[in-house]
Structure 1
Amino acid sequence: MSLAEKNIVISVCGSIAAYKIAHLTRLLVKEKANVQIIMTKEAAEFITPLTLSTLSNNPVLIDYYDAKTGEWNNHVQIGLEADLILIAPATANTLGKLANGICDSLLAAVYLSAKCPVFFAPAMDLDMWKHPATQNNIRLLISYGNILIPPGNGSLASGLVGEGRLAEPEEIFDFLINSISKPLPLKGKRALVTAGPTYEAIDPVRFIGNHSSGKMGYALAEQLGKLGAQVTLISGPTALKTPENVTRIDITSAQDMLHAVEEYYSKSDIMVMSAAVADYTPTEVATQKIKKNEETFSISLKKTIDILATIGTRKTENQLLIGFALETNNEIENAKGKLARKNLDFIVLNSMQDKGAGFATDTNKITIIDNKGHILEYPLKSKDDVAKDICNLIVHHPILKQK
C-alpha cells in the first residue's frame, strides 16, 4: 500500500531537527501524498514556512486565523480530513502538552480533533529523552492510541552521543508505509472474553443476579475481532447482539462460566475477564417454585469459585490476563489488591462514584493499573471508545510483543 492521495498532516515543533522535514516532505510529495504542514511559532525560527510551503505545494499553517485576512484555519476540519498526522520533530515541550491535553496552539487543537492514526517522532537531547517526565508522557501518548516512531541513537546538537535524535526522513517514510501496510496487529492471536452477569438459581423461576448489561464485554470482543484476533465470547444472560466474527458461548451460572473458561483459557493468548460473576450462590436450589407463605425468608449461600483467581494461578508467561474491578470505596487500593492476588497483568477499575460509569450505561470511566504500578486515568467515554483504549494497551503489551 502506498501513501498516494493520502491527506497527511505534518506538525513541526521547534527543534533544530526541523530541517529534516524538508526532505521528508519531498519524499511524501514524490509519493503523490497531499501534505499539509502545521508549524508552531518556535518551529518557524528553525526552518522557514516558505521553504515547507514550496515543497508541500500548500500554505503552511501556524495560527488559528490570519490576522490580515481574518481567514480561520479550521482545526476540526483539518483533524477530520487527515488520513494520518505526523508530529515531527516532537519536542519534550509539545509531548508534555499533548499528553496532558493542553491546547495552546493550532498544532495541539488539530491533534485533539483528529480521528485518524497519529504518529509522533521525538527529537531532544539525551538527558531530556531519558527524564522520567518525558518517558511518562510517552507512555500516556501511546496509551491514547498514538504511535511512537522511536528516536535514533547518535550525535546530538549538544555534543552528546545517545538516544534522542529525530529519525531520518527515509526511516520515517518507511515507518509510515509499513504501518499502513502491515496486517492487523492481533492477527493470529486468540482472545477469550467473558461478559454479562451470572444468574444463580433459587428455584425454577427465581434467581440471584446483578445489573450487568454485558455492554463493556461485548464492545471489547468486537474491538478485539476488528484488530484481527480470533475471539471467543463467554456471555451471561443478555439481549445484546453477537459481534461480527465472534464465537459466542451462552452460560447462565457462575459454575457454567467456570466450565466454559476452563475449556478455552489454555488456548488463549489474551483473556479479558469483564463478566460480573456472582460471588455467592444458593447452597440448595428448590425443585419447585417456593410459595410465599412466610413473613420472612432466608436463603443459605455458599461462595462460588473465583474464576479470575483460578485462571491467574494457571496462566503462563505468554498469556495476557486482564481483570475488572467495580468499587464503591477505596477504589485504587482495592483494585491494586485484586491485581496482585489474582496475578493479573493489568486491571480495569470502575468506580460507582463516577456518574455515567458502571452497569447498564452506554458510557464508562476507567482507571487502568498494571502490575508495574503504572496508573492511567481516562475521561468518561462511550464503551466502544473505552474498548479501543483497553485494546490499544493489549496490542502494545510486552507479553504479546515477545511472542
Structure 2
Amino acid sequence: MGVGGGIAAYKICDVISTQVKAGWQVSAILSETASQFITPLTLSTLCRRSVLTDADFWHPQAPRPLHIELAETATLMLIAPLTANTLAKLVLGLADNLLTSTVLASQMPILVAPAMNTTMWEQPTVQAHWQQLQQQPRYHSLPPAYGHLACDTVGVGRMAQTQEIIAYLDSLAYTHGKRDLAGKHLLITAGGTREYWDAVRFIGNPATGKMGIALARAALHRGAKVTLIHGAIAEPIPAQVRAIEAMSGEAMFKAVLEVWPEADWLVMAAAVGDVRPAQQWSGKLPKSALPTALPLSPVPDILQAAAQMRRPHQRLIGFAAQTGDVVAPAQEKLKRKGLDLIVANAVDQADCGFGTTENAAVVLDCQGRSRHLAKVPKLILAHQIFDIVQEWLP
C-alpha cells in the first residue's frame, strides 16, 4: 500500500485495519509528504509490521534492494490517496522514491484512488495524465467523488469511499486484474419492488439489493459497462455504475425493456413481486377504512418479455430465491422463461439469502449442466457466476 501526501491519508487506516483482520498481509510505503499527515507509528500498529519510508529505501544494510523485494512478494498494490505529483510520475515512468521504484519493478495490478482539491483535479495536465494512466492495463482506478473537501471547496476531489476501495481490492485478489468483460454492457437489476396500495402501505419483500450490487461491482471491476436498475436497496451504488431507480414491478419492466436492446447481458437479480393491488388509493387510508380483502393483479413478467426481444448475441441470466428444494423450481423457471442460465439460492438457510453478506447458490443452464457454489461473500459469488457464464456461454 502506497500512501500519498494528502489529508485523505487518514482514511487509509480503515482500509488497512479491515484487510489485516481479513487475513491479508499488508506492507505500507509512506511517502515523505504523507508522513506530514499520518505517522509511521499509526500505520505500523495497524499493519502489524514496520512501515517503509524512503529512509529504508536507501539503507545500506538491506540484503536485497528493498523495492525489488517488495515488487516480487506483493500480490497487488493500492496507491491512495494518489496525488497529482505521484500521478505524473506514474505516467512518465519516473522512479525517484521507494513507492515509484516499487511500481516500476513490479508487474502486479495497481489500484489508484486520487484525492485532491477540485481546481487541481480539473487542471488540463492532471486530466491528461489521468487519461493516460487509464490506458495502461495494469492500472485500475477509483476516480474521486463529488463532495465537501477539507479545503472547504465543494466539488470533485474526495477520495473513493473505504467500502469501494476494499471491494475493488477483493476483486483484484480474485481476478488478478483481468478485464475479461471489457467491451460488454451488462444490465443488472437489484433490490426488492414495492407495490403500493395507498400512500404508505405496500406489498414487498425483504430484498436489500446486496447481491445485485455485488454483481454490478464485480462486472465493473472486470471492465464492463454497467447499468443497474434497482428497487429498494440498502447498499451504496458504485459511482461508475449508471443507476436507474424503479420501485414497482411496472417501473422496472419499462426501465429494463428500454435499456435491454443496447445491452449484452441481462442479469435479473432483483426480487420483483409477482402481484400488485388491483386498486390503489390516494393518500393514507385511515385504519377504519382499510379493506378486508385486497384484490390482486399480476405484475408484468420482465424476463419473459426480454426473452422475446433478445438478439442472438444477448445472454439472459435469471435468479430464483427458493425455500426447500431450490433446484427443481429453478429448472422449471429456466425453461419456462427461455433463460440461458439461472442462479438458484435458498432463502431459508442461516446466513444466506436476503440481507446477508454471504450467499451460496446452484447454477443451472439450458444444457442440463449444474454447479454448486459454496457460501462465500456475495462479491466473490458474483465473480464465480461470471466465470461460469463465460465458461458455459461463450
TM class by smaller structure:
0.5 to 0.7
Are 1:363 and 1:381, in contact at CA under 8 Å, matched by a contact in 2? yes
Are 2:229 and 2:246, in contact at CA under 8 Å, matched by a contact in 1? yes
Are 2:352 and 2:360, in contact at CA under 8 Å, matched by a contact in 1? yes
* Pair 222,294 (structure 1): closer, same or farther in 2 beyond 3 Å: same
Alignment length (residue pairs):
227
Indicate the residue corresponding to 1:96 in structure 2.
none
What secondary structure is seen at the aligned counterpart in 1 of 2:287?
coil
Indicate the residue corresponding to 1:229 in structure 2.
224
* Pair 287,352 (structure 1): closer, same or farther in 2 beyond 3 Å: same
Indicate the residue corresponding to 1:272 in structure 2.
267
Indicate the residue corresponding to 1:219 in structure 2.
214
1:188 to partner: Cα distance: 1.0
What secondary structure is seen at the aligned counterpart in 2 of 1:218?
helix
1:82 to partner: Cα distance: 7.6
TM (norm. structure 1) is 0.53
Q: Distance in 1 between matches of 2:273 and 2:198?
A: 16
1:367 to partner: Cα distance: 0.6
Indicate the residue corresponding to 1:298 in structure 2.
293
What secondary structure is seen at the aligned counterpart in 1 of 2:259?
helix
Amino acid in structure 2 at the alignment position of 1:207: F
Task: Provide, for residues 76-122 of structure 1, a one-character-per-residue CA deviation record: whole Å limited to 9, x for no partner.
Answer: xxxx95859xxxxxxxxxxxxxxxxxxxxxxxxxxxxxxx99xxxxx
What secondary structure is seen at the aligned counterpart in 1 of 2:242?
strand
Residue 354 (structure 2) pairs with residue 343 (structure 1): no
Q: Which protein has the larger Cα radius of gyration, Structure 1 or Structure 2?
A: 1
* Pair 296,200 (structure 1): closer, same or farther in 2 beyond 3 Å: closer
Q: Distance in 1 between matches of 2:228 and 2:290?
A: 42
Among 284, 292, 297, the alignment partner of 1:289 is 284
Q: Distance in 2 between matches of 1:354 and 1:326?
A: 11
What secondary structure is seen at the aligned counterpart in 2 of 1:258?
helix
Indicate the residue corresponding to 2:129 in structure 1.
none
* Pair 295,193 (structure 1): closer, same or farther in 2 beyond 3 Å: closer
Indicate the residue corresponding to 1:386 in structure 2.
381
- Aligned residue runs from structure 1 range 104-253, under 5 A: 184-253=179-248
Indicate the residue corresponding to 2:303 in structure 1.
308
Indicate the residue corresponding to 2:65 in structure 1.
none
Are 2:177 and 2:222, in contact at CA under 8 Å, matched by a contact in 1? no
Task: Provide, for residues 313-338 of structure 1, a one-character-per-residue CA deviation record: whole Å limited to 9, x for no partner.
Answer: 22222111100001113321111000
Structure 1: 5+ residue stretches without partners = 1-79, 85-115, 118-179
Are 1:222 and 1:244, in contact at CA under 8 Å, matched by a contact in 2? no
Task: Provide, for residues 177-232 of structure 1, a one-character-per-residue CA deviation record: whole Å limited to 9, x for no partner.
Answer: xxx99972111111100000011111111111110000000000011011111100
Residue 329 (structure 2) pairs with residue 334 (structure 1): yes
What secondary structure is seen at the aligned counterpart in 2 of 1:241?
coil
What secondary structure is seen at the aligned counterpart in 2 of 1:396?
helix
Amino acid in structure 2 at the alignment position of 1:250: E
Identical positions, percent: 36
Structure 2: 5+ residue stretches without partners = 1-71, 77-107, 110-174
What secondary structure is seen at the aligned counterpart in 1 of 2:368?
coil
Are 2:178 and 2:222, in contact at CA under 8 Å, matched by a contact in 1? no
Indicate the residue corresponding to 1:130 in structure 2.
none
* Pair 270,295 (structure 1): closer, same or farther in 2 beyond 3 Å: closer
Q: Distance in 1 between matches of 2:271 and 2:177?
A: 36
Are 2:229 and 2:256, in contact at CA under 8 Å, matched by a contact in 1? yes
* Pair 294,284 (structure 1): closer, same or farther in 2 beyond 3 Å: closer
1:240 to partner: Cα distance: 1.7
Are 1:197 and 1:277, in contact at CA under 8 Å, matched by a contact in 2? yes
- Aligned residue runs from structure 1 range 29-44, under 5 A: none
